[in-house]
Amino acid sequence: MSKDFIIAGIDIGTSNTRTVIAQQIKGEENPRVIGVGVVPSVGIRRGVITNVDDIAKTVIEAVESAERMAGFPIKSAIFNIGGCDIEFANSKGVIAIGRADGEVSDDDINRVIAESQMIQLPMNKEIVHVIAKKYRLDDQDNIKDPSGMKGVRLEVDALVIESSSAQVKNIGKAAFQAGVEINDLVLEPLAAAVSVLTKKQKELGVVMINIGGGTTSLAVYEEGELLHTAILPLGGGHVTNDIAIGLRTSVEVAEQIKLEYGSAMAGDIDKKDGIDLSLIDSREEGVVSRHHVAEIIEARLEEIFSLVQKELKLIGKAGLLPAGGVLVGGGAKMTHINELAKDVLGLPIQVGFPVGFGGILDKVDDPSFATASGLVLWAGQHQLEEKREGMKPFNPFAGKTDGMVDVVKNVFKRFLP
């Protein structure tokens, strides 16, 4: 890092919107957290923005809260992009090496990846990421990083991740209304993985599972590379709704029951244990079985993990990831969730906490901060500093990590409403 700079991440979630402001100090490895804000989200369903004005207000509140803690305003941030309408396409790029001596330069790598983006996009889709999976240089295949090698023809196999244009536009409009410029958009599971997975876990084989309010997203890594990612349309909100329906209570009471008395393993709860509803809300009456509540929670979470298992089967990795599963998101805080996940997935499971920070660490030391923290770390890794006077324009190909390169995009133009 050449100088100190400020980086900010804004995670617009179905249940909560979180802002993390951090300072990257020259000579220090980890950014210092200096401001954190979290507010309940309005105007978003299953990760998809449904009301731009409401989500803009939510973003303003979350940003202002973090700014108050940091002691100064931010002008720009990295945002997450979630929602269940993410699509994937495999693509190829081919170029001739530019230098006369045939040595592969960063420019060649950028060009071949840019080539791989020249695909027929489905209607109303936009490219969010292009991930280089492997390169081929003349006859040599399966190259992870061709820079410095010599050849004539460079090819890349890439994974293109697309989101709906409406979602991209709506994030842009909300950010514009909130007065925060967008430095970049990062797919939620990729951001969350940055803050909780170690290099070793990614090398061995691991699945990061982010259980949010309206979605569950996952990212699978092996040999240091992203193998698969998906966003499923179920989350902790569905667990709460099931409890509300099952007990005939309001959603608010159901949420409180879940948080205070919930468990993902019904077998561990004494069948005689009761919950006095009047203690939660004076308008409610009667006693409900804690065991029954746990049964409802277990059933829905089991469904969520079964869907994750289906994704792992799809790529031939079910039960075959030595570093197991790492659970994050607010939903990962459910009591005994790791035991349930272990039973369904047949993998060792742990709950993940963001790592790689200094400063007021305790504010982000929570599985539900995985995405917001990951956005900040991503910004640091890609040198996407918060925009200040005289800052150099953002080079989307600077500082690539894990074979991942962000798409060229005219951020400023595209995000103007």
Ligand X SMILES: Nc1ncnc2c1ncn2[C@@H]1O[C@H](COP(=O)(O)OP(=O)(O)OP(=O)(O)O)[C@@H](O)[C@H]1O
Residues that bind ligand X (CB under 6 A): 13-16, 41, 47, 82, 212-215, 235-237, 240, 255, 258-259, 262, 329-331, 333-334, 368
Of these partners, ligand X, Mg ion, none, which one is at the site of residue 331 (CB under 5 to 8 Å by kind)? Answer: ligand X
Name which of 93 and 367 has its Cβ closer to Mg ion.
367
Which of the listed partners (ligand X, Mg ion, none) does 126 bind, with a CB threshold of 5 to 8 Å by partner kind?
A: none
Nearer to ligand X, 23 or 263 (CB): 263
Q: Is the dihedral of CA 367, 251, 60, 360 positive or negative?
A: negative
Distance CA 36, CA 198 (A): 23
By C-beta, is 115 or 242 nearer to ligand X?
A: 242
Q: Which is nearer to ligand X, 169 or 333 (CB)?
A: 333
Of 246, 271, 272, 270, give the one whose Cα is nearest residue 258: 246
Q: Which is nearer to ligand X, 22 or 301 (CB)?
A: 301
- Partners of 350 in beta bridges: 326
CB-based burial, 256-270: b 16+ in 10 Å, e otherwise: bbbeebbbbbbeebe
Choosing among ligand X, Mg ion, none, which partner's interface includes residue 37 (Cβ < 5 to 8 Å by kind)? none
For residues 84 and 43, the answer to whether their CB atoms sit within 8 Å is no
Question: Min. distance of Cβ 212 from ligand X in angstroms?
Answer: 2
110 binds, among Mg ion, ligand X, none (CB under 5 to 8 A by kind): none
From the list Mg ion, ligand X, none, partner contacted by residue 354 (C-beta under 5 to 8 A by kind): none
Q: What 3-state class would DSSP assign to 84?
A: coil
Binding site residues, Mg ion, CB under 5 A? 13, 212, 371
**Do the bridges between strand 287-289 and strand 274-276 make them parallel or antiparallel, or are there none, so unpaired?**
antiparallel
Closest approach of Cβ 311 to ligand X, in Å? 16
Strand ranges (DSSP E) for 73-120? 76-81, 87-96
Report in angstroms how near the CB of residue 225 gets to ligand X at its nearest.
Answer: 24
Q: What are the DSSP calls for 231-272, one per residue? A: EES--HHHHHHHHHHHHT--HHHHHHHHHHH--S-GGGS-TT
User: Nearest approach, Cβ of 212 to Mg ion (angstroms)?
Assistant: 4
